[in-house]
Amino acid sequence: MKAVVVHGPEDLRIDEVPDPVPGPGEVLLAVEFGGVCGSDLAYWKNGASGTAVLRHPLVLGHEVAGRVSATGPGVTGFAVGQAATVHPATPLGTLPQRLAGRTNLHERVRYLGSAAFDPHTDGGFSEYVKVRADQVRPLPDGVGTRLGALAEPLAVALHAVRRAGDVRGRDVLVNGAGPIGCLVVASAKLAGAAGVVVADVADQPLAIARALGADDVRNLATGDRLPEDVELVFEASGAPAALAGVLRATARGGTVVQVGNLPGAQARSALGDLVTREITWIGSYRFADEITDAVRALGDGLDLEPLITRTFDLADAAAALDFAASSHGGKVLLRMGGGA
């Protein structure tokens, strides 16, 4: 089968790799769509994503959806042709009791399309992928695999909103209108937020945020300013330089949920308001089982179509990543097979 394989920095190839065969407890999916994520871009551009460094060629992709092609011994409850998406995580070891249910906080987690461990964990930018049966999330009737590929990043946003507690009737600021920031907008509105303001430095991602439910948008590059005294803020840019302004925009006693990945290395930022304004700063990492909630939300009619800006065929994966790395905003999809 064909797969999108990164061999090193700026070295992306469409390789022929062996067809996977599902073993006991496994499901084989014919992949139809995959979403390009920042980690895919990092492996392609830098040969590393955070502390995960490429040591061998890696099949990219963890935001995927397709159709059940076959099942391994002992697997029941799936029909060939059934549309599904995938929870990409395989936690290793056991959690301490104080973290019960927070499976995203396992010390060691294998993730599709990740070089965190050696051997690496190949992803789903391929014609087929095999996963454990418990990783498969069937898609509801009426939800195609194209939108199903958005369930994983939607789960990240739903988890961030859940970390904030009850958002019903509260005003919200989202800083950063990349795909996750825009999905936080949709998730906050879904959870009952009163008004959502979104800030970014480009018009196109702000237009997407508006289409997904933002009540007001601010382009900081053109002189717009962040609002003042916002009780609940989601920082989705991951830019250390933005933190000072975000903390200043947060109301005294307010909460900031940090969902944008911050650098692992030292970075300069002014954080004094965190103390003097008694701000609660909460981290949000991936998700536990919110992908199940994401699939349900899609089935209930949550419209994420405005997030998708471009779709490329598998053979054009290099162009897809190049487009996604530009400042166009939104989510870029790869089409591995048929589907809608």
Residues of the domain holding 173: 157-283
Residues 140 and 196 both lie in one domain: no
pLDDT band at 340 (very low <50, low <70, confident <90, very high): low
Of all residues in the chain, what percent carry a pLDDT higher than 70?
Answer: 99
Residues 326 and 223 both lie in one domain: no
Angle at 123 between CA 122 and CA 125, to 5 degrees: 125
pLDDT at 329: 87
Residues 171 and 230 both lie in one domain: yes
Nearest-CA neighbor of 101 among 337, 235, 292, 316?
292
Average pLDDT over residues 49-73: 96
Asked if residue 289 belongs to a domain, the reply is no
Residues 54 and 84 both lie in one domain: yes
Residues 230 and 93 both lie in one domain: no
CATH code assigned at 86: 3.90.180.10
Residues 198 and 230 both lie in one domain: yes
CA distance readout (Å), 297 to 120, 125, 301: 32, 24, 7
What SS3 state is found at 146? helix
Among 77-86, 257-266, 296-305, the range scoring the smallest mean pLDDT is 257-266
Return the amino acid letter for 25: G
- Cα 327 from Cα 237, distance rounded (Å): 13
Q: How many other C-beta atoms are found inside a 10 Å radius of the C-beta of residue 338? A: 11
pLDDT at 339: 66
The sign of the CA dihedral 319, 325, 327, 331 is positive
Asked if residue 340 belongs to a domain, the reply is no
Q: Is the pLDDT of residue 266 over 90?
A: no
Residues 34 and 102 both lie in one domain: yes
Average pLDDT over residues 96-121: 96
pTM assigned to the model: 0.97
pLDDT at 50: 87
CATH code assigned at 166: 3.40.50.720
Total tally of structural domains belonging to the chain? 2
Asked if residue 187 belongs to a domain, the reply is yes
Average model confidence (pLDDT) across the chain: 96
- The per-residue pLDDT for range 1-47, each reduced to its tens digit, is 999 999 999 999 999 999 999 999 999 999 999 999 999 999 999 99
Q: Is the pLDDT of residue 251 over 70?
A: yes
Residues 60 and 126 both lie in one domain: yes
Average pLDDT over residues 98-122: 96
Asked if residue 102 belongs to a domain, the reply is yes
Residues 116 and 58 both lie in one domain: yes
Asked if residue 99 belongs to a domain, the reply is yes
Average pLDDT over residues 72-90: 98
Among 170-174, 212-216, 265-269, the range scoring the smallest mean pLDDT is 265-269
Residues 256 and 198 both lie in one domain: yes
Q: Which two tokens stand for residue 107?
A: 């010390």
Residues 136 and 55 both lie in one domain: yes
Q: How many other C-beta atoms are found inside a 10 Å radius of the C-beta of residue 283? A: 11
Residues 40 and 107 both lie in one domain: yes
- Where helices occur in 2-99 by DSSP H, the ranges are 38-46
- Where helices occur in 263-311 by DSSP H, the ranges are 272-276, 290-299
Of all residues in the chain, what percent carry a pLDDT higher than 90?
Answer: 94
Average pLDDT over residues 199-210: 97
Asked if residue 237 belongs to a domain, the reply is yes
- The per-residue pLDDT for range 146-198, each reduced to its tens digit, is 999 999 999 999 999 999 999 999 999 999 999 999 999 999 999 999 999 99
- Cα 157 from Cα 284, distance rounded (Å): 9
pLDDT at 338: 72
